[in-house]
Structures are given as structure tokens and as C-alpha cells.
Chains A and B, each alone.
Chain A
């Protein structure tokens, strides 16, 4: 544990150096409030006074939170977190990134290991029992990806009629749960730990369909040299929220207000990251859900 922590810190130091080397002075960086006026005693005031913030994000999700070989984190979630940090006077260099795989996110928040989590975190009722969500800051939708020459599957409704068409998704993800009602039997679903393996299995013919949020699939389609395509409508709505400690309504409202006030930075963050993928729908900040 101590060792990996050191590695993370070292990575952060490198990231901070690269960031400050090329990012300083440019108008691209999310703006950092010089003297934010924050209500005393709130989470925002505490973070602002500490001068640093801990953010949980994914390190392996292209377009949203991806740690490159240079140790630098890129992605939409990362940029959104920087906007929120900026509103509290936290410079990007003073954000400590904590890797938050799907199964650990609630625990990291509950234990206070992170101040907030932005990690393609779908808002749902089960998770709401343990934490509070600010946002949504993006609404993705689940779709199906097949090989270009596949004529059997035209949408989720065709899955039940073709039990030989295996569907791949990621273990423990919301898309894996939500595709289940469309399947002929549970054995039709193949699960891996990352979507890369699903895309590989689709290429080699081990599975015929890959399903998850459209933005992630579009990334694979654009890299596939026209071998993959998306079919059917988006059959779910996946509102991505910012996870914070349960019941911290003031912090939640602050995040919602910050995102609303920084719409230009928000749109730019989208265009620079996940929005780069061909065919990705233009982002517009969805209306915030009430904070509870």
C-alpha cells in the first residue's frame, strides 16, 4: 500500500511538473478563483483553507479518466474536477488524484479518502443510499456495438431472438446489469474486467456484441478502421454524477452552481476530451438534480 502510494505521489509530481511547464499562463486551464468567498464551516471552506483537494477518478477510461504512460491524467472527468477545484481556489497542481475503480468508489467517499469522485459514476438509487450525488454533469446512453458485417443484430430487441449472439460487457458495471432483461439467458452475457478485452473478443469472433455507454463504444469504433459499428437506439440513460459524502447538501449545491457558472469551461473540457471522438453527441450541461 505504502509503495503504491509513493508511486502515485511520484506520478502526480511528474504530472504537476508537466502541467505547470506547458499549462501555466495559457487561457485553456480552468480558471482558479483568487479569493473564493465560501461559507465558513462547509466542506468547500475546509478544502479551500487546506489548499489541496483529493479527487477520485478512473485511471483506465479513455476519454474520461486515463493515466498515460507519462503519468498524466486526461479526460472529461479530470477536467470537470479541475473546474470544481478552481472555484475553491485549488490549482490543478494541488489536486491529488486517487484511482477509484468502480467497486471502491463508495468506500473511498465514506472513509473520507477523497473529497469527491468523478469517475463515469452513474447516479442510481442503490448508490444514493451510501453517498450523495451532485450533478449530473453528463448523460450517456447505453448502445450496442457489432461488427460491420453483422446483419442479425439491429438493436437490443434482436438479442433475445438470437441467443447465439454473445454480448460482452464489464463485470459489475451498470451496462452489464441493464442489458440483462434483453437477453435470452444469463449465459449469453460474457464479462471481462475492461472494455479493451471485449473489443478484442469482438474482433476475434468470441463475442458478437459489445455493450456499454455510447461514448466509450464510439472510441472503439473510431479506432477500429470501420470494422465495428453502433446499432440501435440508446436504450438507457446513464447520468454521470459527482460522488460526495452522504448528506453534504451544501457541497452538492456548490458543485452544481459551479458547473452552471462555468459553462464555457465545461464545453471546452468536453470538446478537448471525450467530445473529440467522431460521432459523439455535443455535450450540454444537463439540468442538475435536487441535492439530497
Chain B
């Protein structure tokens, strides 16, 4: 356990870095995912095609391949940015496809009568979506979308291998190889760090779900 206690500051900084990646990734993929889901149910055919194509391509592409394309592909065609932003962008785009599908399940669960009633009283498509359908859809989508977000928190460890660095996983790598600490205690510390992010997230989702549950 010396490996953890002696390097508590390193672990803590790695934890904060991973937490930042997770939070931005969570916010970004929720926003982008909602947008794509909206596209998929829009009355405009090109938008629906775009949404479907996005989900089909992104959802069926391994995360590591996406990360490779961002970190090593984009610089090849002259687009340079910090690896941190490349990593975050890939993570958000990847997760958005899954958020979209979870959310779409929620949208489908809102009965057609609701949308018809909204249209009957003269609401536009945007008003129907933002004031009638999405608020109800979000509530039903909390369990599936929550699982997707938690999966994303864990996927964020992969980003560390694409030049992002300083995150929990990279801290573990550096302690085990350069400084010669035994792998098991160090990786236990890394695992604890991730649990400190995912377990509270799971509890929070449970609370949220109970709070906004709709009695049907």
C-alpha cells in the first residue's frame, strides 16, 4: 500500500484530471446526443438521414479507431490541436451515438396522442419537442442514458493512451514502469479512483430517477 500512500498527490491530480475529462465528456455527449436524437425524429427527411447515418457509423466504430483518427489522422491533413481536445472530441462523438439511441427510446415511449394534442392546440414542432415530448422522454431515458454515461466515464481511461496524459491511468503507468512500484497496489489505487467517480454517479442517477419518476 506504500505505492498509494507515497504518491497520494499524484493520484489526486490524476483523479481530478480524469474527473474533468468525465464531466466535459458527459456534458458534451448529452448535448450532442440530444441534438442527434432530435434529428432522428425531425419531420425533415435530410435531418433524419443525417441522424441515422451518424448513429450507424459512430456506434459501429471502435472507440480506439475514432481516437486514432483524431489524434493521428487529423494532424496528417493539417489540423493541429492539443491531444486533450482531440481525445475529448472523440469521446463525446462516440458516446453521443449511444446517448441518442437511449433518448430515442424515451421519445418513443411518449404516446403519439401527446404530440397530436400539442399540435391540435397550435404548438410548432420545436415547441412540441422541447415542451411536451423531450421533458417526458428525459425522465424515462434516465436508466439507459445513465448507463451510457457511466460507460463513458470508464472509456475515458482509453484517452490516456492517446497523448492526453496526466489522467489516473497514465499516473498508474508512470508509477509502475519508471518508478518501479509493484503493479497490483498501483492499479488498485487507479481502480479506486475510477470507482470514486462511477459509484457516486450511479447513486446520483438512482436519486434522480426516483425524483423525476412519472406515475403512469
Contacts and interface: CB of A to CB of B under 8 A. Distances in A.
Interface stretch (A67-75, A76-84, A167-175): A167-175
A172 B163 contact: no
Contact of B72 (A106, A107, A200): A200
B166 A187 contact: yes
Interface residues of B, number: 22
Contacts of A102: 177-178
A177 B183 contact: no
A242 to B, nearest CB: 16
B80 A206 contact: yes
B30 to A, nearest CB: 26
Interface in A144-177: 168, 171-174, 176-177
A204 interface: yes
A126 interface: yes
B179 A191 contact: no
A5 interface: no
B83 interface: yes
Nearest to B161: A193
Contacts of A104: 183
B182 A107 contact: yes
Interface in B52-108: 71-72, 75-76, 80, 83
A126 B6 CA distance: 13
B170 interface: yes
**Which of B161, B165, B166 is the most central at the interface, judged by chain A CB atoms within 10 Å of its CB?**
B165
Interface string A106-138: 110000000000000000101101100000000
Given A189-B165, A190-B163, A191-B170, A205 B176 contact: no
Given A187-B166, A191-B165, A204-B75, A176 B174 contact: yes
A189 B72 CA distance: 17
Contacts of A193: 161
B173 A171 contact: yes
A45 interface: no
Contacts of A186: 166
A35 interface: no
Contact of A172 (B76, B166, B178, B182): B178
B132 to A, nearest CB: 45
A220 B210 CA distance: 59
B148 to A, nearest CB: 27
Q: Chain B's interface: helix, strand, loop or mixed, by majority?
A: helix
Contact of B177 (A173, A197, A204, A205): A173
A201 B178 contact: no
A168 B163 CA distance: 9
Contacts of B162: 192
Interface in B146-180: 161-163, 165-166, 170, 173-180
A171 B177 contact: yes
Contacts of A6: none
Contacts of B174: 171-172, 176-177, 191
A262 to B, nearest CB: 29
Contacts of B179: 126, 177
Interface in A237-272: none
A129 B180 CA distance: 9
A215 B143 CA distance: 54
A205 B80 contact: yes
Contacts of B183: 103-104, 107
B209 to A, nearest CB: 37
A127 B181 CA distance: 8
Contact of A103 (B72, B83, B161, B177): B177
Given A171-B174, A191-B170, A201 B180 contact: no
**Which of B72, B170, B178 is the most central at the interface, judged by chain A CB atoms within 10 Å of its CB?**
B178
Contacts of B76: 204
A12 B41 CA distance: 58
Interface string A173-199: 110110000000011011111000100
Counting from the closest, the 6 A-B pairs by CB-CB distance are: A172-B177, A204-B75, A103-B177, A102-B177, A103-B176, A127-B180
Interface of A: 101-104, 106-107, 124, 126-127, 129-130, 168, 171-174, 176-177, 186-187, 189-193, 197, 200-201, 204-206
7 contacts: A102-B177, A103-B176, A103-B177, A104-B183, A201-B75, A201-B163, A205-B75
